[in-house]
Amino acid sequence: MGKSFPEPQGGGSLILAWQVKHRKVVVIGGGEVAAGRILNLLNADAKVTVISPRDGLNAEVAHRVERMQVQYVDRKFLSTDLDDPSISMVLVAIDDPEASTEIWQLCKERRIPANIADVPPECDFYFGSVHRDGPLQIMVSTNGNGPKMANIVRRRIAKSLPPNIGDAIAKVGELRKRLRVVAPGNGEGPKRMQWMSKVCVEWSLEDLCSMEEQDMDELLHSYRPNVVPTLEQVRRGEEPGKFEFDGSFGWACVI
């Protein structure tokens, strides 16, 4: 009794990291907006199919086609293009409002998630402004209200981040993988998560960035649930939980 809980704030979106790796995504259009969508999809390892007449391709999309980074269909969209049951999503970026709406309706009939560029009511999801640094991705969304504002906010956030945070995150990811080998089993899961959390909180960003292969091995060798040595202790080979006095008073004690 008496405990307060956050009040729901309607009008937002459920922001997710959508896994489209090896999944088929259809992009209809070949202009500047389509180029940005295609790059985002390729960064996510999706199988991209681009449908657009060749004279509608901008330089970047044409580059993707020439490098065979995407599957290309050289013509306007046909309703039969959506008959493939393996299609995971459709992105429409063409300068034809009526055709765009028709494609949206076809997607709804087939229950395929779709995004119609610059038409928020005809979108199952929105694209935000994304900052990328290795494994780190930060998305800022205005729920379709102000794409330029999202870009401004994203740049301000990115400027406040340390330049090496992507490297630190990559090393934490590698440490997590190795920890699963050291402490396998579902029963160890909560202990592993708690231990990794302590590493991220107690080690500085500089520590994580400077962590080397040998440091990881030594850290994992000393693994005990809820006990995390410092980087200095790891490099000196000290057991975690032991603290040494320097003898300033003529004696030393090990706890």
**196-224 pLDDT per residue, tens:** 999 999 999 889 989 999 999 999 998 99
**Residue 205 burial class via C-beta count within 10 angstroms: exposed 0-12, middle 13-18, buried 19 and up:** middle
pLDDT at 245 over 70: no
The pLDDT value given to residue 241: 57
Q: For the chain, how many residues are written? A: 255
When pLDDT is cut at 50, 70 and 90, the band that residue 250 belongs to is: very low
Give the integer Cα–Cα distance in Å for 41 and 23: 10
| Mean pLDDT of the chain, nearest integer | 90
- What are 87's strand-pairing partners? 24
CB 82 within 8 Å of CB 107: yes
Cα(121)–Cα(116) distance, integer angstroms: 9
Q: How many CA atoms lie within 13 A of 81 on its CB side?
A: 24
Mean pLDDT of 8-13: 88
Sort residue 165 into left (φ over 0), alpha (ψ -120 to 50) or beta.
alpha
What element of type H or E holds 127?
Answer: none
Tokens 């300033």, residue located: 248
Query: Which residues are known catalytic residues?
Result: 118
Output the six-digit token pair for 22. 């090896």
State how far the Cα of 189 lies from the Cα of 228, in Å rounded to an integer: 17
| Residue 244 confidence (pLDDT) above 80 | no
Nearest in space to 84 (alpha carbons), one of 106, 117, 54, 52: 106
> Global pTM?
0.77
Residue 255 has pLDDT above 70, yes or no: no
> In this model, does residue 14 exceed pLDDT 70?
yes
- Greater pLDDT, 85 or 187: 85
Q: What is the DSSP code (8-state) at residue 6?
A: P
pLDDT band at 242 (very low <50, low <70, confident <90, very high): low
